[in-house]
Each structure stands twice: as structure tokens, then as C-alpha cells.
Structure 1
Amino acid sequence: MITLFYSTIKFMSAKGMNIVVDTVNDNDERLNACLGLLSDHPVLFVGVTCSKEELIRREKLRGDREIGLAISQYDKVYCLGEYDIELNTETLRPNECANLILNFIRSNREYSAFKKLNKRSVGVS
């Protein structure tokens, strides 16, 4: 299923479509499938962060998640430490996040984080 998910993204990217993917890379299988299939495509790797306390608050507020899931994934999700841009959603509003991403894209800076991750041994498990 993971390979199919990223293969679909690869296909759409190869057809010239700009795609926004919201996913959690919480294990080696998922991350390595993503890296393997998309390493030759332009990937702006965005880290979306907030504090553990805020994650707990949001999880309780949403009411549609198993309580404790966010904290159980926290160290796995945030272990990469390599992003083109990092956005703290605790301090930034959604429109501010969107504007920062757009400004990064418009700056024509190289999307390098994804390529750097592909070149190193990643341990997310």
C-alpha cells in the first residue's frame, strides 16, 4: 500500500502536477519507499512541528484519535532533522505557514533536504 501511495505521487509529478502530500514518516519502510520512488523528483520537504504539550492538547480537542498516539510517534517523526523549511504550527497560523512555503518556492532555492536524506542511512524505526 505504501509503495502504491508513493508511486501515484511519482506518476502525478512526472506528468507535471504539483502535489501536496501530508504524511507521517514514522518508520523505515515508509520513509525509504518515499525516498526511493521520489528521489529524482522535485520534493520540497517541509517539517511541521509543535511541542508535545500542544500535540496532547490538539489530540484531546479533536476527539477522533487514540489518546497518546501523537506522543508515541513524536520521536520517530521528528528524528530526521533535515527539512527544506520547518514550520511550527504552535506559533504560526495556517496562512502564515502557507505564505512561508510559497515564499520558499518563489525564491527558487534548491530543494535539497530530500536528496540529503536519500544519501544517508536513515533510521526511523
Structure 2
Amino acid sequence: MEVSAQIIIDSLVTLFYSTVKFMSEKGINVVVDTVNDNDERFNTCLGLLIDRPVLFVGVTCSKEELIRREKLREDRQSGLAIAQYDIVYRPEEYDIELNTETLRPNECANLIVDFIRSIREYSAFKKLDKRSVGVS
């Protein structure tokens, strides 16, 4: 990727997480579904959201299932799921992990709601920051 394109993308990522932080500070609950595909972006996310109540959810499935889903969707570059697999699943700290190969979407949603209602502490982000974990 060209350096100038990389700078634009990194700036947009920072703007995106800054917007999420702003909304959180205003009391708006936000669900973010994203792939942080390098250390800089992951650390930007951590740095901006570390003081916010972040429920860090690991959404997982097997490589075989990712390949199957990628073929069904037909809107992804072939091989992208496997190329990102080790990057996406590198963090070892999550508040809750959900395997979408064994759980239906409504079951995942119910587990997240149950976690929120349990008043358990959202601690994964703080642990990741202390450990300076990146994703590439």
C-alpha cells in the first residue's frame, strides 16, 4: 500500500475510535465490530478507549468454518479470512468469548446481555493495555 494511502487509513481509524470514545463519553452505548490488523491500530484503539467501559468480546470459529463462510458470501477477497485469522485471534484477553460455529446469533446476543446484567467488571482492555498486547 502506498505511504499516503496508509496515512489516510490510519487517520480514519484514529477518527473512528475518537468518535466511539466521544459517543461513550456522552453516555451513548456503542457496538463496534472491527478487525484491528496491525499493532498501531490496535494500540490506537486501546489508547483511546482504555478509560471507557469496554466489553471486549472475542468472536471465534474454526479456520474451516471461516473458509466456508467466505465462499458463501462472495463479497470477500478469497483467502482474506485465513490471512487475518492469526491477527484477529491474537489477543488472549476477552471479557467473554463466543464461538459462532456452535452458537446461533441470538444465543450470542443473550450471552452478551447476560454478561452486562451480571455487573461483572469489564477488565480485558485494561489487562491488554498493561501487557502492551498488539495484533501483528
Which of 90, 98, 106 is equivalent to 1:95? 106
Which of 29, 35, 53 is equivalent to 1:18? 29
CA deviation after TM superposition for structure 1 residue 44, in Å: 0.1
Does residue 81 (structure 1) correspond to residue 99 (structure 2)? The answer is no
Task: Give distance in 2, aligned partners of 1:37 and 1:121.
Answer: 14
State the aligned residue count: 125
Bigger helix share: 2
CA deviation after TM superposition for structure 1 residue 120, in Å: 1.1
TM-score by length of 1: 0.98
Task: Give distance in 2, aligned partners of 1:123 and 1:105.
Answer: 26
Secondary structure of 2:59 counterpart: strand
Which of 20, 39, 56 is equivalent to 1:45? 56
Q: Which moved more, 1:83-92 or 1:22-31?
A: 22-31
| Structure 1, unaligned runs of 5 or more | none
TM superposition outliers: structure 1 runs of 4+ over 2 Å: none
Return the letter of the residue paired with 2:22: F
Task: Give distance in 2, aligned partners of 1:3 and 1:55.
Answer: 28
Which of 3, 19, 34 is equivalent to 2:14? 3
Does residue 104 (structure 1) correspond to residue 95 (structure 2)? The answer is no
TM-score by length of 2: 0.90
Same amino acid, percent of matched pairs: 82
Return the letter of the residue paired with 2:87: K
CA deviation after TM superposition for structure 1 residue 81, in Å: 1.1
